Amino acid sequence: MKEIEIEFIGKGEVKGFTFKLVNRTDHAYMYEVNGKYFEVFERKVNSQFDCVSYPSSKAFGIWAFYVPSFERAELKLSELEKRVCVRTSANGNVN
């Protein structure tokens, strides 16, 4: 399965934005965007393309989040990791 790239330039609605992986856990990612802010999101597998997908704008506020500071982004990453672990252990799914 293909993971999200460590560093990449956005396409489509984020064309020209630069994304750089800052941290990740088993179930969540934290990317720095344009060296200015962070996007933190759950790891979602796209089974159709056998890859992990970066969230689109529709996912923000649901399973992906804009975070203005590094410290708050680290807290959100930890929160998402815990949330996914609780959810997957409760229903036996891993994704």
Query: Within a 10 A sphere around the Cβ of 62, how many other Cβ atoms?
Result: 10
Predicted TM-score (pTM) above 0.95: no
Q: Give just the sign of the alpha carbon dihedral 14, 31, 88, 78.
A: negative
- In the chain, where are the structural domains located? 7-91
pLDDT digits (tens, 9 = 90+) for 26-57: 999 999 999 999 999 999 999 999 999 999 99
Kindly report which listed range (38-52, 56-70, 74-88) carries the lowest average pLDDT score: 74-88
The answer on pLDDT for 83 being more than 80 is yes
**Exposure of 91 in the CB half-sphere (CA atoms within 13 A):** 7
Q: What is the mean pLDDT of the chain?
A: 93
Q: Measured between alpha carbons, how far is residue 87 from residues 35, 38, 95 in Å?
A: 32, 24, 10
Q: Measured between alpha carbons, how far is residue 22 from residues 14, 40, 83 in Å?
A: 18, 10, 20
Average pLDDT over residues 60-83: 97
